[in-house]
Amino acid sequence: MAERYNFRFEEGSTYDRCVQLISELDCAPDALVLDLGAGYGAPAEAVAELGLKYVGCDLDGDGLGDLAARGFETHPLDLRDAHLADQLVAIVRGRPVAAIVLLDTVEHLADTHSLLHAVSDAAARLGEPELVLSIPNVAHRDIAVKLLAMGRFDYTPVGLLDQTHLQLFTEARLRSDMERYAWVATSSRDVLISRTEQRFPAGHPALEPSTPIYEFLSATRLAADPHGEVYQFVRRYARQPHDDSALPGTDDAAAGDVPFLTVIMRTRGDRDRLLADALLCLAAQTDRDFEVRLMVHSDSPVVLGEVAEVVGRFAASFRRRVFVHAVHGGGRARPLNNGLALARGKFVAFLDDDDIVTAHWVEAFRGAATAPSVLRSRCYVRSIEPHPHPDAPYEIVERPQPWYSAKFDFVEHLYANQTPICSFALPHALVSELGLRFDETLEVLEDWDLLLRAASLAGVLDSGEITSVYNFWHDRAGSRLLHDAAQWEQIHLGILDRFDAAPLLLPIKSASYLHDLQRRAEHDAWAAEHRTAEVERLEEYVRSLEHELAVYRRIGMTQALNAPRKVYRKLRSAD
Amino acid sequence: MASIVQPVPSRVRVQVVLYGADPHGIWRLTESVARAVHLARDAGVVSDGTLVFGDCSPEPALTEDDLLTLADICATELVAPPDYHFFDANRFHSGGQNALADLALQHNDAGGWLLVLNPECYVAPDLLVEMLRVADADDVAAVEARQVPLEHPKAYDRVSLDVSWASGACLLVHHAAFGAVGGFDESCFPMYCNDVDLSWRLRLRGHRLRYAPGAAVFHDKRIDPETGYPLPTALEEGSGLLARLLLTTRYDRPDLCAETISLIEAHGSDAQRQAAEEFERLRAGGLVPAPLAGASTVADFVAGEYGERRY
């Protein structure tokens, strides 16, 4: 083995983290730690200090020789051997095994699955010890940004893209491969490195923080999943054998086809009539290719049962597409995020339990879905208030009004939201692949914040149809009334501050849009200035008339005053 | 005051008149009605619920396969398959509903309540339970459901729930009372204002009409971007205007009739002018209805609308 792989054991290193994971195990004294692909066995001494017996296995004689000279048990072992499991059982010879270790090894083998299959087989025969593994993350932000901005994918002697790597792993691939052999992560000590050896060539704008292109690409990558700065995955796994009927990741609905739309509806379960109306609107949809994730934000099992009872009243063809989920803790955004985690539809839309939609709400979204963009329909607003009669869910005070813009305008939306939560749908990929979630720290405007982020990345397609009615409560608890204007403004500005922290991706044709906006602003400023001069001129004229009027009064020419009086009144009224 | 003996549980006959309907829409409607019948039966307020379609289309709107599908849908709720009658003529809404009510008499299915239902509806599961609850008074002849997503702006008494007239989109009317007033007036009001006219004739006989805010019916109405109200149908402009003129005549408001005609002459659309001309032809031929005795006691013409509006 090349000397370049003779790494020292250092605090915080992969080896240190690996030993920490082993130290958490509850195992017999002197149990074995089988290090497969041990190389020079950097963690050997630290493992021994835990009271465990380190056993180094490798094909390379240099490393094994070094380990043996340090007093550790070693065995020559080819991890590609067809009888690898048998060999491991033979090495153990009935001794207890604390853990099997694969540090920076899997990526050097062409056939990952044969290795994992053999290790799993051996684990089953050795009393199911846990597996500790480290593996580099090929989806590190530095590699992603470099590949995207520069088209470069540079192998190096060591590091993330070690030139001897035969397999490349992302977190998703690692999880998938491990789950295939029933290994489920029980603990992790991932190595985070912000600036890696991949930051070359030096001085390139795409690789330097503070440049717009770096900041934008970096922010996009880091938002996609929590592993953008993970240099190495360092994790411990336990085997949880399963049968095919209970595959990980499945839920009560996953067996069916993927619907066009997931509707995430949030309720606190305290207004059954409104909820029933909202569900009625969904049951009556002309396009029924959707599922409903009804998120009940309550700790009360009674409330959950009452909501389930409302759903249960509907016909089977509808109620079997409505899944009721309890949501505990958190604020207004928690039910929405929990719903996003469950959503299976190609697009995801949202409703509150007091929203009303027309029969073509889903149909209009589908009609607009010519690309994986945010889909938007028009929403009208009607004012309502509580009704004194117990049967009536509300009193309508004002018929639906077009408060919101007919077409989506990104810049206008930065100033004020024009798209209530009931009137847009997100492509699911924004959630599953780009990690978009509602910000649970926001007390209000969480939908506006998410919409802007989604629109910036995916664009917006307007259906042009009016498909929803937002109920504006006049005198009852709603988010608008729970916070005063100053709080709204503060939250609004806070959201803008966060957008300011990174470059903002604007829609196509924004250059001419911004040009026209500036031109209009200049014209308006000129017009205002011109009006000011005109007002000053008129005021001077009024003063001269007032002076003239005073003169006439003094000389008693009342008849002669009629004409200037009229002029004076006219000018005053024009003020 | 008229009195209606209302046995509990009641019989309910749901009547839908079709004209070239979308089968998928009819499946949805059937599903919702069957469910509502099931729940009302479980609640002990309905003894027998039937669904009947009257088809005014030039060709049958529903095929044999469609009817089998509808039967399957009903079977899931343990409800009898719907009856289907192809009229082979356009009898319009009023004629179709009257014919279906008459068929009930022929088939010994009279008595109880009729639910007059628009084909573009999807009823709430508890619709019948809620409507029958509001109908539970001897002087109530008809009950109107609350429409979703666009509620009718017509006013109702906030305590008694009484209304001037009840919309025919989803109208529960006692079969006997319906028959006693001759049902809808299919000659004067084949489509528009037939519900207003029926309502006022029921009230003339001393019946009350009530609104059931707890009974929701989804009525597929789309919003007009200009007004915020439902989009008018193509026929509504002309036929609706003609119906208004006939209504003002029957309910003895010649002043409103003349005012409407003069407004149409000054500002009306082509369709409205044609309707006004048709009205004049009918009037010249003595074919407009004569004013009803006591009309002023029930007719509420308010600011161009029928009854007060809430908003």
Chain B hits for A357, CB-CB cut-off 8 Å, are 149
Taking the C-alpha atoms of residue B193 and residue B246, their distance in angstroms, rounded to an integer, is: 9
Q: What is the mean pLDDT of chain A?
A: 90
Does residue B243 sit in the same domain as residue B185? no
Q: Does residue A304 lie in a domain region?
A: yes
Q: Are residues A50 and A99 located together in one domain of the fold?
A: yes
* Domain annotation covers residue B1: no
- Would you give the distance in Å from CA A534 to the centre of its chain? 54
Instruction: Give the end-to-end CA distance of chain B in Å, rounded to a whole number.
Output: 31
Task: State whether A416 and A482 are in the same domain.
Answer: yes
Over the stretch A8-47, which tens digit does the pLDDT of each residue have?
Answer: 778 889 999 999 999 999 988 899 999 999 999 999 999 9
Beta bridge partners of A45: none
Which chain A residues are closer than 8 Å to B310 by Cβ? 395-396
What residue type is A43 in one-letter code?
Answer: P
* Most distant CA atoms of chain A, gap in Å: 130
CA dist., res. B102 & res. B82, Å (int): 16
Q: Give the closest of B130, B159, B223 to A400, CB-based.
A: B223
Per the structure, the count of domains in chain B is 2
- HSE-up of B251 (CA within 13 Å, CB side)? 24
Out of A214, A246, A278, a domain closes at A246
Identify the domain containing residue A387 by its residue range. Answer: 261-508
Cross-chain CB nearest to A396 (options B25, B134, B310): B310
| More confident of the two residues A447 and A551 | A447
Q: Do residue B48 and residue B164 come from a single domain?
A: yes
The answer on B70 and B36 residing in a single domain is: yes
Paired tokens of A557: 């020419």
Percent of residues, chain A, with pLDDT higher than 90: 77
pLDDT tens digit string along A385-427? Answer: 988 889 998 889 888 888 899 999 999 999 999 999 999 999 9
Residue with tokens 């400023």: A525
Residues A329 and A427 in one domain: yes
pLDDT band at A248 (very low <50, low <70, confident <90, very high): very low
> For A132-177, how does the pLDDT look when each residue is reduced to its tens digit (9 = 90+)?
999 999 999 999 999 999 999 999 999 999 999 999 999 999 999 9
CATH classification of the domain holding A116: 3.40.50.150
Cβ A296 vs Cβ A324: under 8 Å = yes
Peptide bond into B149 cis (omega under 30): yes
Q: Do B83 and B39 belong together in one domain?
A: yes
Shared domain check, B206 and B158: yes
Residue A549 has pLDDT above 90, yes or no: no
Mean pLDDT on B46-59: 96
User: How far is Cα A379 from Cα A420, in angstroms, rounded to an integer?
Assistant: 7
pLDDT category of residue A574 using cuts at 50, 70 and 90: low
CA–CA min distance A282, chain B (Å): 10
Best probe of the B interface among A381, A391, A397, by most B CBs < 10 A, is A391
Residue A101 within any structural domain of the chain: yes
Q: Does residue A384 belong to any structural domain of this protein?
A: yes
For the segment B114-123, the average pLDDT, to the nearest whole number, is 97
Give the gap in angstroms from C-alpha A470 to the nearest C-alpha of chain B.
11
- Quick one: A309 and A174 in the same domain? no
pLDDT of residue A480: 56
Round to whole Å and give the CA distance between A79 and A109.
Answer: 8
- Kindly report the pTM of this predicted structure: 0.85
Instruction: Measure the CA–CA gap between B287 and B242, rounded to whole angstroms.
Output: 13
Question: Domain with A358 in it: what CATH number?
Answer: 3.90.550.10
Strand, helix or coil at A406? coil
Q: Is residue A19 part of a domain?
A: yes
Beta strand segments in chain B, E: 10-18, 46-55, 83-86, 113-117, 121-123, 140-148, 170-174, 208-219, 301-302, 305-306
B176 touches chain A (CB under 8 A): no
Q: Cα–Cα distance between A334 and A354 in angstroms, integer?
A: 18
Chosen domain end from A486, A508, A530: A508
DSSP code, position A483: S
Do A525 and A481 belong to one domain?
Answer: no
B213 Cβ under 8 Å from any chain A Cβ: yes
Q: Taking CB atoms and an 8 Å limit, are B32 and A283 in contact across chains?
A: yes
* Residues B286, B203 share a domain: no
Together in a domain, A242 and A291: no
* B21 in A contact zone (CB under 8 Å): no
Q: Do B126 and A313 make contact, defined as CB atoms within 8 angstroms?
A: yes
> Contact B207/B139 with Cβ under 8 angstroms?
yes
3-state secondary structure of A409: coil
Is the pLDDT higher at A242 or at A460? A460
Q: How far apart are CA A363 and CA A248, in angstroms?
A: 33
CB-CB neighbors (< 8 A) of B130 in chain A: 391
A440/A340 Cα distance (integer angstroms):
13
Which residues of chain B lie closer than 8 angstroms to A474, CB-CB?
Answer: none
Integer angstrom CA distances of residue A531 from A59, A538, A541, B2: 88, 10, 15, 72
Q: Domain holding B98: CATH number?
A: 3.90.550.60
Beta-carbon count within 10 A of A407 CB: 11
Please check whether residue B31 lies inside any domain of the structure.
yes
Q: How far is B230 from chain A (nearest CA, A)?
A: 10
Q: Are A400 and B311 in contact (CB under 8 A)?
A: no
Q: Are residues A468 and A486 in the same domain?
A: yes
Record: contact B218-A281, CB cut-off 8 A: yes
- Does residue A361 carry a pLDDT above 50? yes
| Same domain for A128 and A51 | yes
* Chain B neighbors of A277, CB-CB under 8 A: 148, 216
Tell me which long-range contacts A486-494 makes (C-beta under 8 A, separation of at least 24). A487/A443, A487/A444, A488/A444, A488/A445, A491/A442, A491/A443, A491/A444, A491/A445, A492/A445
Q: How far is the C-alpha of A458 from the C-alpha of A426, rounded, in Å?
A: 9
Residue B125, in any domain of the structure: yes
Could you tell me if A129 and A72 lie in one domain? Answer: yes
Q: Do A379 and A404 form a contact (C-beta atoms < 8 A)?
A: yes
Summarised one tens digit per residue, pLDDT across range A300-348 is 999 999 999 999 999 999 999 999 999 999 999 999 999 999 999 999 9
Please write the tens of the pLDDT for every residue from B122-149. Answer: 999 999 999 999 998 889 999 999 999 9
Q: Do B223 and A466 touch (CB under 8 A)?
A: yes
Last residue of a domain, one of B219, B251, B283: B219
CB A102 within 8 A of CB A36: yes
Q: Are residues B157 and B276 in the same domain?
A: no
pLDDT of residue A552: 64
Q: What is the widest separation between alpha-carbon atoms in chain B?
A: 57
CB atoms within 10 A of CB B264: 20
Q: Are residues A398 and A528 in the same domain?
A: no
Within a domain: residue B257? Answer: yes
Please check whether residue A339 is in contact with residue A446, taking contact to mean a CB–CB distance below 8 angstroms: no
Q: What is the mean pLDDT of residues A459-465?
A: 96
Residue B285 is assigned to a structural domain of this protein: yes
SS3 A377: strand
> Domain check: are B289 and B191 in the same one?
no
Query: In this predicted model, what pLDDT tens digit does every residue of B63-108 receive, in sequence order?
Result: 999 999 999 999 999 999 999 999 999 999 999 999 999 998 877 6
d(CA A293, CA A254): 13
Confidence of residue A569 (pLDDT cuts 50, 70, 90): low
Range of B293's domain? Answer: 236-306
Are residues A447 and A320 part of one domain? yes
Are A277 and A405 part of one and the same domain?
yes
Range B287-295 average pLDDT? 95
Give the minimum alpha-carbon distance from A359 to chain B in angstroms, rounded to a whole number.
Answer: 6
What is the reported pLDDT for B6? 63
List CB contacts (< 8 A) between A394 and chain B: none
Query: Is pLDDT above 60 for A558?
Result: no
**A357 to B153: CB separation less than 8 angstroms, yes or no:** no
Query: What is the rounded average pLDDT for all residues in chain B?
Result: 93
Burial label for B235, CB within 10 Å (0-12, 13-18, 19+), is exposed
Domain-ending residue, one of B219, B247, B281? B219
> Which residue type is seen at A190?
D
Model confidence at B109, in pLDDT bands (50, 70, 90)? low
Of A281, A382, A392, the CB nearest to B213: A392
pLDDT tier for residue A555 given thresholds of 50, 70 and 90:
low
Residues B61 and B141 in one domain: yes
Q: Do B311 and A398 touch (CB under 8 A)?
A: yes
Could you tell me if B97 and B242 lie in one domain?
Answer: no
Beta strands, E only, B175-235: 208-219
Query: DSSP letter string over A141-192?
Result: HHHHHHHHHH-----BSSSTTBTT------HHHHHHHHHHTTEEEEEE-PEE
Spatial distance between the Cα atoms of A233 and B192, rounded to a whole number of angstroms: 72
User: Which tokens belong to A442?
Assistant: 């926001």
CB contact at 8 A, A504 and A414: no
Residue B78 corresponds to which amino acid? L
Give the residue among B307, B152, B306 at the shortest CA–CA distance from B217.
B152
Q: Angle CA(A232)–CA(A234)–CA(A240) in degrees, nearest 5?
A: 135
Number of domains into which chain A is organized: 3
